[in-house]
Structure 1
Amino acid sequence: MGQASQTLQDAAAALLAAYESGTATPPLTETYDDLGVADAYAIQLEQVRSWTAAGRTVVGHKVGLTSAQVQKQLGVDTPDFGHLMDDFAYLEHDPIPVGRFLQPKVEPEIAFVLGKPLQGPGVTLTQAIDAVDYVLPAIEIVDSRIADWRITLVDTVADNASSGAYVLGSTPTRLEDVDLRLTGCVFTRNSQIVGTGAGGAVLGSPISSLVWLANTVGALGTSLDAGHVVLPGSVTPMSPVAAGDSFTATFAGIGSVTARFAS
């Protein structure tokens, strides 16, 4: 086995160990020399293979780094993606155990549920629109297995795009009934407003994020499947989480969703 392959497996093992131990690992970019973005996705996929081998299933994808502010912070000009596993999903209002996560934060998103598969590269805007069955209000719980969130692009990509979990609202809305670019959101923590934004904060439109995702994973041989959930990116900055917190994201024309964390 080549050294490069062993390095990628070691890095994946370090992240998997962080899940098990509850102790974050130092940034991979400080531990392993010359890791690139392609290496980071290979590390991510190594973990996904481990999870699926254990009986978990992929139920969708998330897109991160979609806001200009976050891209500037990390010095990048492109989003990234991660995999959503079946046990990432929590029902609205069910208590979410904070102890499952290492360093959780939350953010409101407009989730897509696909009615048709999307296979890139070459997916167009109109094809992406045609593939969407409906949208739902969503709250994503983001988390990092990297100590103190000291992440570079490579670190977050390797760490499954800092995925944690998600909660979906229960009222579906058809795309033709809403303008996602102009859809406003009010995000509250324990009834206090912690963020406001609109769908246009996500690459100009969340649909653009879906197109980017389909074409990016398509180039790697992966399709987006019917029934899958896509979290296209946050419309506000992240908010930290503490035990006992309750967050609600209210989207104009789409509805609201609440994530409640066990005290």
Structure 2
Amino acid sequence: MNKMAKKISREPPKLIPVSPNPESIRHISGKKPDQVRFFEIGFDTSGSGISLAVKRTGWCSVNDWAEADSELTKAMQKASGGNNKNPFPNPSGGTYHPEGSPNGRWPRTGLSFRGPVQGGNGSLELSNQCLFVIRLASGQGLAKTDWRFSTRYAPFSGDGNIKDLKDIFSDAAFIRFDQNHAIREQPDEFERPLGIDPYASTDWACFLFDVEEARQKSNNDYVFRYNIHIEIKDRKKGNYISIIIDPDIGHPEGNSP
């Protein structure tokens, strides 16, 4: 087991205060995506408490960034239509697998995204450069304006060792919907102080995941932790509180697709 996988625990996703993070994912790789995977995450109140879960998913194959941006635009156009249908291509519901593989070899966090692998279920699994797109869902008592990606920090960061992971995680961006088109906005080199020229508010963001590098670093089966930087609205005070969600990407198992 590689040293990164050893850090994985069975703890649920943590919601902790955020501070400027030197491990922010800003590296521009020069690679291009060959697949896009969409994940809508939200709060689940069906159990004994409140937890985060994948609500809906989808995926599609692409050849480059232009095609990926086109698919992002289509999904955001559908999502802005006002109905509650899954806006993603090849849509499916989220499936919860907190323990990862059936034999428990790869313990996972409560919010786990399934990564592509070679030789899997048809074209769905065949990817070397996968663009992960995450949308923050409304519903379950949560309004669209109640949470958003950070307006002060990069949307994603590494889990303590970005130097080892920068060949795997790259090209992070906020995704804005402007004049009926999806616009990817790369985060700055430095964090933006509170109240000083914040990033535009958005509930969509993405990063590129190098599946080939992940397989090579971990003998095909892998689990990699990272952080999502979001802000949740304090309804009483009207301000937003910055927090971190720490999910993982791995194979085998995780949330579909």
Does TM, normalized by the shorter one, top 0.5?
no
Structure number with higher helix proportion: 1
Q: TM-score, normalised by structure 1?
A: 0.26
Structure number with higher strand proportion: 2
